[in-house]
Amino acid sequence: MNDKVINAALLGLGTVGTGVYKVWKSQEPEMADKIGSRLNIKKILVRNLEKAARKVDDPSVLTDSWEEILNDPEIDIVIELIGGIDPARAYILEALKAGKHVVSANKDLIAVHGRELLDAAAAHKVDFLYEAAVAGGIPIIRPLKQCLAANHMSEVMGIVNGTTNFILTRMTREGMEFADALALAARLGYAEADPTADIEGLDAGRKVAILASAAFNSRVVLDDVHIEGITKISAGDIRYAREMGCDIKLLGVARNTPEGIEAYVCPMLIPSSHPLASVNDSYNAVFVRGDAVQDAMFFGRGAGEMPTASAVMGDVFDIMRNIRADCCARIGCTCYKNLPVKKMEDICNRYFLRMQVEDRCGVLAEMTAVFAKYNVSVAQIVQKEKMARERAEVVVITDSVREGDFLTAVEELRRRESIHEISSLLRVYGEN
């Protein structure tokens, strides 16, 4: 039966690594029936052998030497869960060159060096799979590359960061301000000690790059993605949005247009009737649109020990099936196009603009004249009772307009004495 055992090594035994170890243990009794082979996690790379010993049944599998894993010819699959660019990139490239298959959940790396890793896998006829890098346990990479392969995808977008979705959900439901909701998220374990990558949109931006590459068959990297976070969103913005029939979500959006790919992450107003508007707390959801499938959505846990481990082990099982069927590298890089990526200023969206203006006759006329000058058409306008002496709050939602034109109009508004402050400027998700 020995030829029916496939050996793997785990790099990292943090949250996801521990989850993978647990899923492996729980699947072991039926793995031979399910896949036709058994998996043996032969080595686990850790930094602190002593600390890790408490997490595994047999501490002799632990090692702090990457070379021990790389040079073990019995190890066929490397599961990289250490994250970050270095040394993960070097380890993965060395493993691929040594003829080992690699499963990775490393979005930081794949969003920047995805092509290099997939090319190396192809060159050495091995698999490099990364379902867990986007939206945790939610199947999305394999559906895009296989189930939906017969589509021209025009859009892939969604809520792909659980921390910010938790924060915005609390701000919406309880009227909390950003700082309080962030503190709560940290207290409940939904935000990391340094939440910068989440709240500034960087984590979501990496996932948009990976999703867009898989959906549009053209490589999109992190630098191609325009990124804004949620730190400037206030409870007041959310209240106004709801008055206008919308919620505010941190959306990652990628569109394939005749002029090129649009890829951005930013807080956006989205109609409350849209399926994504009801994706709350730390849940993630990815919405896709294709010429055949039309609209589809994938919803679930976007992070966490066990959901992410589910995706990692799904990839491991796939590689085990490939090894058994002798068809490794069956599906590699699917980016056979080379589409341009549009600049943010050339992208059209609708905008939500909240301003403090002088409360006198003629100010609205002045504002709308500026809009007209730059071809900005106003779809909705709300003026509230004045908040302070001689000061009124005006909220505008525009029709779709090229961002460059809109920002020029906003610059001109800022220079007007009657406009005291532009307190928020947000995009509105919708058909353009």
Catalytic residues: 207
Nearest to 413 by CA among 368, 382, 381, 375: 368
Assess contact for 250 and 204: CB atoms under 8 A.
yes
Least Å distance between CB 378 and a copy of itself?
31
The backbone torsions φ and ψ at residue 204, rounded to the nearest 5 degrees and listed phi first, read -65, -35
Nearer to a copy of itself, 34 or 391 (CB): 34
Nearer to a copy of itself, 264 or 299 (CB): 299
Least Å distance between CB 96 and a copy of itself?
18
Nearer to a copy of itself, 227 or 261 (CB): 261
Assess contact for 230 and 164: CB atoms under 8 A.
yes
Least Å distance between CB 339 and a copy of itself?
12
Assess contact for 139 and 298: CB atoms under 8 A.
yes
Cα separation, 350 vs 379, in Å, equals 9
Nearer to a copy of itself, 134 or 392 (CB): 134
- The DSSP output letter for 385 is S
Least Å distance between CB 367 and a copy of itself?
37
Least Å distance between CB 191 and a copy of itself?
20
Could you give the C-alpha distances from 326 to 9, 37, 94, 320, 362, in angstroms and in order? 20, 13, 22, 10, 75
Please report which residue ranges of 159-201 form alpha helices under DSSP H: 162-174, 178-187, 196-199
Nearest to 429 by CA among 301, 245, 256: 245
Nearer to a copy of itself, 113 or 301 (CB): 301
Question: Measured on CA atoms in the order 234, 236, 242, 246, is the torsion positive or negative?
Answer: negative
Least Å distance between CB 136 and a copy of itself?
9
- Positions touching a copy of itself (CB under 8 A) are 19, 23, 26-27, 30, 33-35, 131, 137-139, 142-143, 146-152, 217, 275, 278, 290-301, 304, 306-307, 309-311, 313-314, 316-318, 321-322, 325-327, 330-331, 334, 336-337
Nearer to a copy of itself, 33 or 67 (CB): 33
Nearer to a copy of itself, 194 or 326 (CB): 326
Least Å distance between CB 312 and a copy of itself?
8
Nearest to 93 by CA among 105, 102, 84, 82: 102
Question: Measured in whole angstroms, how far is the alpha carbon of residue 172 from the centre of its chain?
Answer: 21
CA within 13 Å, CB half, 247: 21
CB atoms within 10 A of CB 37: 18
Give, to the nearest 10 degrees, the angle between helix 178-187 and helix 162-174.
120
